[in-house]
Amino acid sequence: MFLVGELGRSMRSDGILGVGGSDQSRATAVVVASRRRWLKRRETWLVVLGVALHAVYMLSIFDIYFKTPIVHGMDPVPPRFSEPPAKRLVLLISDGLRADKFFEPDEEGKYRAPFLRNIIKNQGRWGVSHARPPTESRPGHVAIIAGFYEDPSAVTKGWKANPVEFDSVFNQSRHTFAFGSPDIIPIFCSALPHSTWNSYPHEYEDFATDASFLDEWSFDQFEGLLNRSHADPKLKELLHQDKLVVFLHLLGCDSNGHAHRPYSSIYLNNVKVVDKIAERVYHLLEDYYRDNRTSYIFTADHGMSDKGSHGDGHPTNTDTPLVAWGAGIQYPKPASGNSHSDSVTTFVDKHAHDMPTPYDWGLRRVERVDVNQADIAPLMSTLLGLPCPVNSVGNLPLGYMKLNEAEEVEAVVANTKQILNQLLRKSYIKSSNSLFFKPFKPLVHHSFSLSQIDELISAKSYEAAMKLAVDLRNLSLEGLHYFQTYDWLMLMTVITLGYTGWMIVLALHVLQCYSSLSGDLSKKEHLSVQKKDSGKVYISGCLLMAILSVLNLVEHSPPLYHAYIGMTVFLWTQIFSEYRLIRGLWKYLRERRADYFIKLLFAAAVAVVIVELLVHSFTERKLYTWFFLIAGVVASILLHFSIPWRSGIPVFVCISCWFLSVFTLMPAEIPDNNNLVVTSGAIIIVISLAAKWLGTHAEGNKFWQSITFHESRTQMCSMLYCIQIFLVGVSSVMVFLSTKHRTQNQELHSSHQFINWLVAGSSMVLPLFSANGILSRLSSIFLGFAPPFLLLSIGYEAVFYSALAVVLMAWILFENASHHSSKVKESSLSENNTEEHITIGSDERYLQLSDVRIPLVFMVLFNVAFFGTGNFASIASFEISSVYRFITIFSPFLMAALLIFKLFIPFMLVICAFSAITKLVRVPRLGCYFLVILFSDIMTIHFFFLVKNTGSWMEIGNSISHFGIVSAQVVFVLLLFALTNLYTRSIRIKPLSTSPSLKTL
Ligand SMILES: [Zn+2]
Ligand SMILES: [Zn+2]
Structure confidence by residue, pLDDT tens digits, 630-646: 999 999 888 888 777 77
Which pLDDT belongs to residue 835? 40
CA of 497 to the centre of ligand 2 (A): 42
Q: Are 776 and 710 in contact (CB under 8 A)?
A: yes
Which pLDDT belongs to residue 235? 93
CA of 95 to the centre of ligand 1 (A): 4
138-158 pLDDT, tens digit per residue, is 889 999 999 998 877 666 555
CA of 92 to the centre of ligand 1 (A): 13
163-187 pLDDT, tens digit per residue, is 447 889 999 999 999 999 998 998 8
The ligand whose atoms approach the alpha carbon of 143 most closely is: 1
The ligand whose atoms approach the alpha carbon of 309 most closely is: 2
CA of 372 to the centre of ligand 2 (A): 20
CA of 69 to the centre of ligand 2 (A): 25
Cβ neighbours for 597, distance < 8 A, ≥ 6 positions apart: none
Which pLDDT belongs to residue 699? 65
From CA 750, how far away is CA 156, in angstroms rounded?
Answer: 44
Q: What share of the chain has pLDDT > 90, as a percent?
A: 43
Which pLDDT belongs to residue 749? 77
The ligand whose atoms approach the alpha carbon of 249 most closely is: 1
Q: Which residue has the higher pLDDT, 65 or 233?
A: 233
CA of 861 to the centre of ligand 1 (A): 42
CA of 137 to the centre of ligand 1 (A): 3
CA of 310 to the centre of ligand 2 (A): 6
Q: Which residue has the higher pLDDT, 259 or 832?
A: 259
**How many residues belong to the chain?**
1001
CA of 313 to the centre of ligand 2 (A): 14
The answer, yes or no, to whether residue 515 has pLDDT greater than 90, is: no
CA of 301 to the centre of ligand 2 (A): 10
Render 634-685 in DSSP notation, one character per residue.
HHHHHHHHHS-GGGSHHHHHHHHHHHHHTGGGS-SSPPP-HHHHHHHHHHHH
From CA 18, how far away is CA 3, in angstroms rounded?
Answer: 18
CA of 54 to the centre of ligand 1 (A): 37
The ligand whose atoms approach the alpha carbon of 310 most closely is: 2
CA of 254 to the centre of ligand 1 (A): 6
Q: Are 349 and 132 in contact (CB under 8 A)?
A: yes
From CA 878, how far away is CA 290, in angstroms rounded?
Answer: 59
CA of 137 to the centre of ligand 2 (A): 6
List Cα–Cα distances, 754 to 68, 783, 886, in angstroms: 53, 20, 8
List Cα–Cα distances, 194 to 71, 172, 178, 181, 974, in angstroms: 23, 10, 11, 19, 57
The ligand whose atoms approach the alpha carbon of 144 most closely is: 1
Q: Which residue has the higher pLDDT, 431 or 892?
A: 431
From CA 836, how far away is CA 852, in angstroms rounded?
Answer: 20
Q: What share of the chain has pLDDT > 70, as a percent?
A: 87
Which pLDDT belongs to residue 16? 36
The ligand whose atoms approach the alpha carbon of 267 most closely is: 2
Backbone angles phi, psi at 298, to 5 degrees: -120, 125
CA of 144 to the centre of ligand 1 (A): 12
73-82 pLDDT, tens digit per residue, is 889 999 888 8
CA of 138 to the centre of ligand 2 (A): 10
Backbone angles phi, psi at 244, to 5 degrees: -100, 145
CA of 96 to the centre of ligand 1 (A): 5
CA of 139 to the centre of ligand 1 (A): 9
From CA 397, how far away is CA 409, in angstroms rounded?
Answer: 12
Find, among 529, 542, 536, 518, the residue nearest to 580 by Cα.
529
| All residues with CB under 5 Å from ion ligand 1 | 95-96, 137, 254, 301
The residue-averaged pLDDT of 891-910 equals 87
CA of 149 to the centre of ligand 2 (A): 18
CA of 135 to the centre of ligand 2 (A): 9
> pLDDT confidence of 784, banded at 50, 70, 90?
very high
The residues with which 401 forms a beta bridge, in sequence order, are 329
> pLDDT confidence of 13, banded at 50, 70, 90?
very low
The ligand whose atoms approach the alpha carbon of 305 most closely is: 2
Residue 800, phi-psi category: left (phi > 0), alpha (psi -120 to 50), beta (remainder): alpha
Backbone angles phi, psi at 440, to 5 degrees: -80, 100
Which pLDDT belongs to residue 88? 94
CA of 700 to the centre of ligand 1 (A): 72
Which pLDDT belongs to residue 613? 92
Which pLDDT belongs to residue 107? 84
Picking from 9-13, 395-399, 523-527, 559-563, which range would have the lowest pLDDT averaged per residue?
9-13
CA of 298 to the centre of ligand 2 (A): 18
CA of 380 to the centre of ligand 1 (A): 20
The ligand whose atoms approach the alpha carbon of 300 most closely is: 1
> pLDDT confidence of 448, banded at 50, 70, 90?
very high
Q: Which residue has the higher pLDDT, 209 or 944?
A: 944
From CA 731, how far away is CA 738, in angstroms rounded?
Answer: 10
The residue-averaged pLDDT of 415-422 equals 94
CA of 311 to the centre of ligand 2 (A): 9
The answer, yes or no, to whether residue 259 has pLDDT greater than 60, is: yes
The answer, yes or no, to whether residue 828 has pLDDT greater than 80, is: no
CA of 162 to the centre of ligand 2 (A): 21
Residue 996 burial by Cβ neighbours in a 10 Å radius (0-12, 13-18, 19+):
middle
From CA 31, how far away is CA 41, in angstroms rounded?
Answer: 15
The answer, yes or no, to whether residue 837 has pLDDT greater than 60, is: no
From CA 428, how far away is CA 449, in angstroms rounded?
Answer: 19
The ligand whose atoms approach the alpha carbon of 262 most closely is: 2
From CA 786, how far away is CA 768, in angstroms rounded?
Answer: 15
CA of 252 to the centre of ligand 2 (A): 10
The answer, yes or no, to whether residue 269 has pLDDT greater than 80, is: yes
CA of 286 to the centre of ligand 1 (A): 28
311-325 pLDDT, tens digit per residue, is 888 889 999 999 999
The residue-averaged pLDDT of 970-992 equals 82
The answer, yes or no, to whether residue 432 has pLDDT greater than 60, is: yes
Q: Are 923 and 844 in contact (CB under 8 A)?
A: yes
The ligand whose atoms approach the alpha carbon of 304 most closely is: 2
CA of 485 to the centre of ligand 1 (A): 29
Q: Omega of the bond prior to 134 within 30 degrees of 0, cis?
A: yes
Give 59-78 as a 3 state SS string: HHHHHHCCCCCCCCCCCCCC
Find, among 463, 493, 478, the residue nearest to 569 by Cα.
493
Q: Tell whether the torsion through CA atoms of 517, 522, 524 and 530 is positive or negative.
A: positive
Rounded to the nearest integer, the mean pLDDT of the chain is 84
Q: Tell whether the torsion through CA atoms of 89, 92, 98 and 99 is positive or negative.
A: negative
Residue 385, phi-psi category: left (phi > 0), alpha (psi -120 to 50), beta (remainder): left
The residue-averaged pLDDT of 265-285 equals 93
The residues with which 371 forms a beta bridge, in sequence order, are 129
- For residue 35, count other CB atoms closer than 10 A to its CB: 18
The residue-averaged pLDDT of 323-352 equals 75
Which pLDDT belongs to residue 56? 92
List Cα–Cα distances, 790 to 639, 726, 802, 886, in angstroms: 33, 14, 11, 12
Q: Are 983 and 763 in contact (CB under 8 A)?
A: no
Angle at 388 between CA 382 and CA 394, to 5 degrees: 95
Query: What's the one-letter identity of residue 556?
Result: H
The ligand whose atoms approach the alpha carbon of 258 most closely is: 2
From CA 672, how far away is CA 796, in angstroms rounded?
Answer: 8
CA of 97 to the centre of ligand 1 (A): 8
From CA 153, how far away is CA 947, in angstroms rounded?
Answer: 13
CA of 136 to the centre of ligand 1 (A): 5
Q: Which residue has the higher pLDDT, 90 or 165?
A: 90
The answer, yes or no, to whether residue 717 has pLDDT greater than 80, is: no
731-768 pLDDT, tens digit per residue, is 999 888 888 887 777 777 788 888 889 999 999 998 88
Which pLDDT belongs to residue 304? 92
281-312 pLDDT, tens digit per residue, is 999 999 999 999 999 999 999 999 998 888 88
> pLDDT confidence of 197, banded at 50, 70, 90?
very high
The ligand whose atoms approach the alpha carbon of 140 most closely is: 1
Which pLDDT belongs to residue 879? 56
The ligand whose atoms approach the alpha carbon of 138 most closely is: 1
What is the reported pTM? 0.82
The ligand whose atoms approach the alpha carbon of 94 most closely is: 1
Picking from 467-471, 631-635, 833-837, which range would have the lowest pLDDT averaged per residue?
833-837
Which pLDDT belongs to residue 2? 38
CA distance between the termini of the chain:
34
The residue-averaged pLDDT of 584-596 equals 80
Find, among 141, 133, 159, the residue nearest to 91 by Cα.
141
- For residue 833, count other CB atoms closer than 10 A to its CB: 14
Q: Which residue has the higher pLDDT, 285 or 581?
A: 285
Q: Tell whether the torsion through CA atoms of 287, 288, 292 and 297 is positive or negative.
A: negative
CA of 803 to the centre of ligand 2 (A): 42
CA of 94 to the centre of ligand 2 (A): 11
The ligand whose atoms approach the alpha carbon of 142 most closely is: 1
